[in-house]
Chains A and B, each alone.
Chain A
Amino acid sequence: MPNRLELTGITKQFPGVLANDHVSFAVKPGEIHALLGENGAGKSTLVKMIYGIMQPDAGEIRWNGEPVVVANPKAARKLGIGMVFQHFSLFEALTVLENIALGMDAKIPSRELESRIRAVMETYGLALDPHRTVATLSVGERQRIEIVRALLLDPQLLIMDEPTSVLTPQEVEQLFTVLRTLAAEGCSILYISHKLHEIKALCDTATILRGGKLVDTCDPKQETSRSMAEKMIGTGLKDIVKAEGGAFGPPKLVVNRLSTIKTGHFDVAVDDVSFTVRAGEILGVAGVAGNGQNALLDALSGELIGDDREAITIDGFGIGMMNTTQRRKQGLCAVPEERNGHAAVGDFSLSDNSVLTARDRLGMVVLGLINSGAAKTYTGKVIADFAVKALGPASTAGSLSGGNLQKYIMGREILQKPSVLVVSQPTWGVDAGAAAAIHQALVDLAAAGSAIVVISQDLDELRALCDTLAVINMGRLSATRPVKDFSVEEIGLLMGGVHGSMETA
């Protein structure tokens, strides 16, 4: 049987960058093939050429053994290549059915289309009401629309571009089941990701790209996450360097019986949460998305102002009724999960974004006037220290890639040397090399005497980074214990809401 897809010597040159340099690999029928690499390794370019969005400068694409030229996405769909993009192109006010109809090349009567959609959903266990409005759906359900749209064309190859970056663990599990079913029926899957444990769990083969070149094609089940990560970044992965046996200082951030009020229909409020973080300590808050993490971050950062001054204290000083600006002056900085639009203003320059959070702590505003020189100098330092790929302090936040913007935001807060730092998903969508740098910066900040709270859904990250750990479930926080005392199973049970004897611990 010929290979489903075979690339030979694919090369693509952009002005100043060789995005793909003689890349060759093959995907067999029914194979789940991972395409692995850091941001900027050339994965997206390669996939865009397979899907016909771009044309290669050199090299050959063979489809089921025959050489083909994929002129455009329509031609790709005709061949039987489907793609699910990382960013969905959906219409919020329209129904699922209308969204799918808009994306079909052929005009199909809506009744026939609906029965075909229902058949596809039935086959793959993709629950979705075709008449629901997209605005009412979760991110995972929205992704299912894109998957159904691709499956309606009976693809022989399905390309998934970082499909899990926005999903909850349960949704990831459901997605994997669908993908495995598809593969068992002979559909090949090209799976782009940099989440190594997912690739180990799902994929049969992994092709690793670095700097546009193919580094290795391997069997992920034979490799460790670490060995694949090292192939991705090209050097040995740096371990987090932690001073061993360092004793913690006195309690720095003390949260005592903190509760919030439900703000929206889909929000989970924080319910009677207490914990203590000492100087030099990194506390991890684990939990499945949507269990009150957002409310906890907002309550700590000051976006939600409480009614009890003593519910949150820094060095014994009550800040529970202060707003964000006052809390920043007291030494508490925070990084919310959503980086573009919440942590940074996309249309503003990086310099202006620095002024927004660092103005008081670093004296960037004098008598109501912005000291733009100071802002520019500080932003330049953030860019240099955190290796942010940006043209300079004047480039807009929105022009940065997700990973680079995250590095800038983390740098902007860490270099303010806050005495308490609260961060949510610090390395979400950031590649392995950059994640290691962010982790190291957090550890260094703690070593200098700050108290740090890391809210994350990535257990590997929390176990590597944190000293102590607590689990949040339905707005309630488990007792805090040293990370070493937790087994993965125990954390998993706590995330699922089984508190057991932990309540009294």
Chain B
Amino acid sequence: MDLTIAILVTVVGASTPILIAALGELVVERSGVLNLGVEGMMLLGAIAGFVVQFHTGNHYLALICGAGAGMAASLIFGFLTLSLSANQTATGLALTIFGTGFSALAGASYSARPVSLMSPIFPELAAHPVLRVLFGYSFPAYFAIFMVFAIWFFLKKTRAGLILRAVGENDLSAHSIGYSVVKVRYFAVMFGGAMAGIAGACFPLTLTPQWAEGMTAGRGWIAVALVVFASWRPFRLLGGAYLFGLVMTMELYAKAGGGPLSAIPSELWAALPYIATIVVLVLISLRRDASTNAPACLGKPFMPSN
């Protein structure tokens, strides 16, 4: 029982940054833009959040600055792909390489300097042996779940969300009706950048209280895959993120020699999220009907004819 509770608590912690980053990318992709720079923006958010926390001690200020760093990076991406119509795939990969390098440079003098982790929102309930499954987390975990609902509502129920989907579905038609495709996509890309920055800042603020080079460890890529896994739907993203978090936590317990889990080699546990991603992508591509739900203009630069 105690082990189950401990595992569940770890799962939520591990899933939260993936979920936040993937939610941002979901909105970006729904507007028709493929930003593969999530990993890079997360690292920039992580170093910005760490540095601010280290010097001010304010966790919330650190999260906001992480969001700002991610958003600034996404603006570079937006300028290149939206204003200059550069190739989105190449630009996104470049952003990831840039984010990895720049965060390593900026964080060089901060390695092995500890900061404090964010404390749970409900300190009394967090100490309870069972209720901590629900109430034992710090702010980002609740923020992530709130954003699932908020983004679902935005996309499904608001006019702005409808316009965003329309732009991702058929940019030329949206343009001819009179909506500004580039403006809508800028907002989406900036939102995605801010979410990736927050997700990155979660690593030093909620998981490992220090800065380490490349500390997001490929979670940005899992977030990108999750969006496809979830067929661009927020609630499936929630389930998917927790599922991936569970598999990743299993790996930790398997390594630590935790009973039955060790029956499977930990390397296999470590590979599972990636294997699952590939299997899901194959399954989705086999279903060649509208239910795959991919935005029709995903990744295509917007080029009005005149």
Contacts and interface: CB of A to CB of B under 8 A. Distances in A.
Interface of A: 89-94, 98, 101-103, 107, 133, 135-136
A90 B159 contact: no
B176 A89 contact: yes
B173 A135 contact: no
7 contacts: A89-B177, A90-B173, A94-B165, A98-B162, A98-B165, A133-B290, A136-B290
A91 B173 contact: yes
A101 B162 CA distance: 9
B181 interface: no
Given A133-B290, A135-B290, A136-B290, A89 B162 contact: no
A276 to B, nearest CB: 38
Contact of B295 (A89, A93, A136): A93
Given A133-B290, A135-B290, A103 B177 contact: yes
Contact of B162 (A90, A92, A102): A102
A455 to B, nearest CB: 27
Nearest to B173: A89
Contact of B169 (A91, A101, A107): A91
Interface in B130-161: 159
B267 to A, nearest CB: 40
Interface string B173-213: 11011010000000000000000000000000000000000
A217 to B, nearest CB: 32
Contacts of A94: 162, 165-166, 169
A135 B296 CA distance: 11
B81 to A, nearest CB: 21
B293 interface: yes
Contacts of A136: 290
B9 to A, nearest CB: 38
Given A89-B172, A90-B173, 16 more contacts: A89-B173, A89-B176, A90-B170, A91-B170, A91-B173, A91-B174, A92-B170, A93-B165, A94-B165, A94-B166, A98-B162, A101-B162, A102-B166, A102-B177, A135-B290, A136-B290
Main SS class of interface, B: helix
B166 A89 contact: no
Contact of A89 (B170, B290, B296): B170
A89 B169 CA distance: 11
A136 B290 CA distance: 8
B290 A102 contact: no
A89 B174 CA distance: 8
A103 B295 CA distance: 19
Nearest to A133: B290
Tier of interface size on chain B: 10 to 19
B272 interface: no
A235 B211 CA distance: 84
B163 interface: yes
Contacts of A98: 162, 165-166
A102 B184 CA distance: 14
B303 to A, nearest CB: 13
Contacts of A92: 169-170, 290, 296
Nearest to A101: B162
A44 to B, nearest CB: 15
Contacts of B293: 93
B4 to A, nearest CB: 41
Closest 5 CB pairs of A and B: A89-B173, A91-B169, A135-B290, A91-B170, A93-B169
A133 B169 CA distance: 12
A427 B169 CA distance: 32
Contacts of A103: 177
Interface centre among A102, A103, A133 (most CB of B within 10 A): A102
Nearest to A99: B166
A107 B290 CA distance: 28
Contacts of B159: 101, 107
Contacts of B176: 89
Contacts of B173: 89-91
B244 to A, nearest CB: 26
B290 A93 contact: yes
Nearest to A265: B289
B38 to A, nearest CB: 23
Interface centre among A92, A93, A98 (most CB of B within 10 A): A93
A102 B176 CA distance: 11
B137 to A, nearest CB: 35
Contacts of A135: 290
A98 B163 CA distance: 9
Contacts of B163: 102
Contacts of B162: 94, 98, 101-102
A136 B170 CA distance: 16
Contacts of B290: 92-93, 133, 135-136
Contacts of A91: 165-166, 169-170, 173-174
Contacts of A89: 170, 172-173, 176-177
Nearest to A135: B290
Nearest to B295: A93
Interface centre among B169, B174, B176, B290 (most CB of A within 10 A): B169
A89 B179 CA distance: 13
A93 B290 CA distance: 7
Contacts of B166: 91, 94, 98, 102
Contacts of B174: 91, 102
Nearest to A136: B290
A101 B177 CA distance: 11
Interface centre among B162, B165, B176, B295 (most CB of A within 10 A): B162
A103 B166 CA distance: 11
A211 to B, nearest CB: 25
A91 B172 CA distance: 10
A482 to B, nearest CB: 44
Nearest to A90: B173
A103 B163 CA distance: 10
Nearest to A73: B178
A94 B163 CA distance: 11
A90 B293 CA distance: 16
Interface centre among A90, A91, A92, A136 (most CB of B within 10 A): A91
A230 B227 CA distance: 60
Contacts of A133: 290
A98 B168 CA distance: 14
Contacts of A102: 162-163, 166, 174, 177, 179
